[in-house]
Amino acid sequence: MALTNKLGITDQVALARAEEKLSKQKAKQLHDSGDIARMEVGTFAGLADIHGYLFGDVYDFAGKVREVNIAKGGFRFAPLMYLEQALRHVDAMPQGSFDEIIEKYVEMNIAHPFREGNGRAVRIWLDLMLKKQIRQVIDWNRVDKEEYLSAMQRSVVKDVEIKALLGGALTDRIDDRAVFMTGIDVSYHYEGYGKFRTEEL
């Protein structure tokens, strides 16, 4: 059964396809319009704006804190009763260095504040912090899907692996449109989406 959505789609496969197409179009627009430069960097408010921008055409809950407990692959994300507290904690975390930014990223992933689309929105949020603070971003093309997913799973306990993996993929091509667009495609690939290329939408 598909998530309740604005498109009236009840088939999960059809919804995934529509969600990918529409949100990738919005990701492209986010970059090309310059709207991305207006997003607050490193705060939940900024992340909520990114999420709302990407998924607002698909879901009523876009940009809004989830109202249900969620789990993935046996891991339970922050329980609803502690979610607001977790988000305040992440907002207060420093973001002055690469290590601090990745630690903040890991904590936001554990919070998983939205019903759907967390990873895709949070990776854009991560790159905005890196761009502002250390003048680098991640070239996601250089980050293997399986290595990334396993490192993120283990980051809950120890973040050394994810820091090494992402640190090895940094680039100073922070304003390179191709790096952003292919990064979106790779980010979606991590979540099992790959029908459309962002650049072609």
Looking at the predicted structure, is the pLDDT value of residue 1 above 80? Answer: no
Task: Give a yes or no: residue 155 inside a domain.
Answer: yes
- Model confidence pLDDT, tens digit, residues 105-154: 999 999 999 999 999 999 999 999 999 999 999 999 999 999 999 999 99
Length of the chain: 201
Evaluate whether residue 128 is within a structural domain.
Answer: yes
Mean pLDDT, to the nearest integer, of 13-26?
A: 97
Predicted local confidence at residue 75, as pLDDT: 87
- What's the structural domain count of the chain? 1
pTM, two decimal places: 0.96
Q: Which pLDDT does position 74 carry in this prediction?
A: 82
| 3 token code pair | 């998530």
Indicate whether 6 belongs to any domain: no
pLDDT tens, 70-90? 998 888 999 999 999 999 999
Cα 93 from chain centre? 18
Distances (CA, A) of 67 to 81, 109, 114, 185: 10, 17, 8, 28
Looking up residue 137, the CATH number of its domain turns out to be 1.10.3290.10
What's CA 99's distance to the chain center, in Å?
18
Average pLDDT over residues 34-60: 98
In 13-29, which positions are buried (b, 16+ CB within 10 angstroms) versus exposed (e)? eebbebbbbbbbebbbe
The domain containing residue 125 runs over which residues?
Answer: 12-200
